[in-house]
């Protein structure tokens, strides 16, 4: 069983479209995250939810909207896609939202905007 699973793994779309990436974790963790990895491999946090509550919201365009229907799921919806949104998006989870929580990452979703 995959601990943190993301769908889709690959997504190719046109500029201006709206797309969603879904994430589910079966670890019983309270906290989930979205990280973005750009073409230079740089990883940066975007959002974090703890028990369905948004706790970290980095400076991200408001075209990006996370949604957490329950503790086990965190989805990322992106409106009006731009070329610069092309990246690999990683979902992660941790037992708690505190410093001690090791992050478990999904396999990533590679988004390509044409």
Partner 1 sequence: AQKVTQAQTEISVVEKEDVTLDCVYETRDTTYYLFWYKQPPSGELVFLIRRNSFDEQNEISGRYSWNFQKSTSSFNFTITASQVVDSAVYFCALSEGGGYNKLIFGAGTRLAVHP
User: Applying CB under 8 A, which residues contact partner 1?
Assistant: 31, 35, 40-45, 48, 50, 55-56, 88, 90, 92, 94, 96-108, 110
Nearer to partner 1, 21 or 92 (CB): 92
Per DSSP (E only), the strands in 10-108 are 10-13, 19-25, 31-37, 43-50, 53-57, 64-70, 73-78, 87-94, 104-105
Rounded to a whole number of angstroms, the minimum distance from the CB of residue 106 to partner 1 is 8
Closer residue to partner 1 in complex, CB, 41/62: 41
Question: Which of 89/113 has CB closer to partner 1?
Answer: 89
Q: Which two tokens stand for residue 87?
A: 């990246």
- CA-wise closest residue to 105 among 93, 87, 89: 93
For the bound state, the minimum distance from the C-beta of residue 107 to partner 1, rounded and expressed in Å, comes to 5
Nearest in space to 52 (alpha carbons), one of 75, 27, 26, 35: 75
Least distance to partner 1, CB of residue 31, Å: 7
Shortest Å, Cβ 80 to partner 1:
27
Secondary element (H or E) of residue 48: strand 43-50
């Amino acid at each position: 069983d995959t601990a943190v699973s993301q769908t889709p793994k690959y997504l190719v779309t046109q500029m201006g479209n709206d797309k969603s990436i879904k994430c589910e974790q079966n670890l019983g963790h309270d906290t989930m995250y979205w990280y973005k990895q750009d073409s230079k491999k740089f990883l940066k946090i975007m959002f974090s939810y703890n028990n369905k509550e948004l706790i970290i919201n980095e400076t991200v365009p408001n075209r990006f909207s996370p949604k957490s229907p329950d503790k086990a799921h965190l989805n990322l919806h992106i409106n009006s896609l731009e070329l610069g949104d092309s990246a690999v998006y990683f979902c992660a989870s941790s037992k708690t939202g505190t410093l001690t929580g090791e992050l478990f990452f999904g396999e990533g979703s590679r988004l390509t905007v044409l």
